[in-house]
Each structure stands twice: as structure tokens, then as C-alpha cells.
Amino acid sequence: MFNSLFGRLLAPARLVALTFFLSSMFASLSISASTDSAPEYQSEDWQLINLSGENVRLSEYQGRPVLLVFWATWCPYCKKLLPGIQKLHEKYQKKGLKIIAVNIREDWKPHVYWQNHEYTFDAVLEGDEVAKTYGISGTPGLVFIDPNGKVMSVQSFSDPEHPILEKFAEFYTQ
């Protein structure tokens, strides 16, 4: 009984803490419409091969918000997260959000996995070195990058409904 009552009393505090975290994460952001040349892309550039065998460079998406999702076919938490990432992609891709799934620590066939699940956002292969540049050591890992290439946040969660996903997409695709 005590734990139940205590849990109900703390629920609003957790919501306030999450709201504060999200607010503080995005509070320092500024978006300016300038006719001057675009600022230099701030993220470390990298190039990987996608599932179609084509080269993909992060800097190709300068001017767009990018969400990197580090995943593996064997990861149960990725299996939970990726359907929510697909929904986010469907909702925000036409507004400019770029989602790239970066396959890491793989021991199976990501091509088959991707095809079986009918995901339509981009996936690149052999991203272990890229993961290290962001401090990603496990799956799933998420990296939120603003349109200028600034890494806004590095996270690890499997909740496909995590509020930071929608907040990031909404903020940068208005």
C-alpha cells in the first residue's frame, strides 16, 4: 500500500522532471532565417553504405534535422523501438526530418530484416566506428542532430512513444 501511494505521489514529479528536461534541451536552440551563406556543418561527417549499396554521407542532409538510430537485428529493444521510428518517419519525412538507421554490432542479415519489416526510412551498414564518435556503446542508441549539424542529444531508450521523438521532430519541422 505504501509503495502504491508513494508511486502515485511521485508520478507528477516525474512528469515535471521530464518536461523540464525536454524544455531545457530545446531552450538553447535558435532558428534564424538568414539570407547569408549557411553556417558550416557542425557534425563530424561520415560516409556509410546503405542497403541498396549506395554511399550515404551525413553532410548530405545539411539544413535538415537528422535522427540517427543505432540498431541491430538481434536487439529486442530495437525491435520494440523501430515501429515507432517508422511512424515518426511517415509523419515527418515530407516536412524535412531525415531518419537514418545505423546498423551496428551485426551478426545476421540486416537486408532481410529490413525487407521483412517493410521499413521505409534509410538504413546504413557497418556503423560501428560512427557509433563510437557519438559515444554509442549499445543498442538502441539515438542521436538527435539539428539542421546545422549540431548534436543536440544522445539517448538510449526503446519506448516507441518516447516524448523526445515527437518534440524533436515538431520543433525542427514547423
pLDDT tens digit string along 98-129? 999 999 999 889 999 999 999 999 999 999 99
pLDDT-based confidence at 21, cuts 50/70/90?
very low
Can you give the length of the chain in residues?
Answer: 174
pTM comes to: 0.78
Q: What is the CATH number of the domain that holds 148?
A: 3.40.30.10
pLDDT at 27 over 70: no
Question: CA 90 to CA 95: how far, in whole Å?
Answer: 10
Q: Is residue 32 part of a domain?
A: no
- The alpha carbon dihedral of 35, 29, 146, 130 has a sign of positive
Number of domains in the chain: 1
Q: Is residue 2 part of a domain?
A: no
pLDDT at 34 over 80: no
Q: Is residue 16 part of a domain?
A: no
Q: Is residue 76 part of a domain?
A: yes
Please indicate whether residue 157 or residue 5 has the higher confidence score (pLDDT).
157
Question: CA 141 to CA 131: how far, in whole Å?
Answer: 8
Cβ 48 vs Cβ 130: under 8 Å: yes
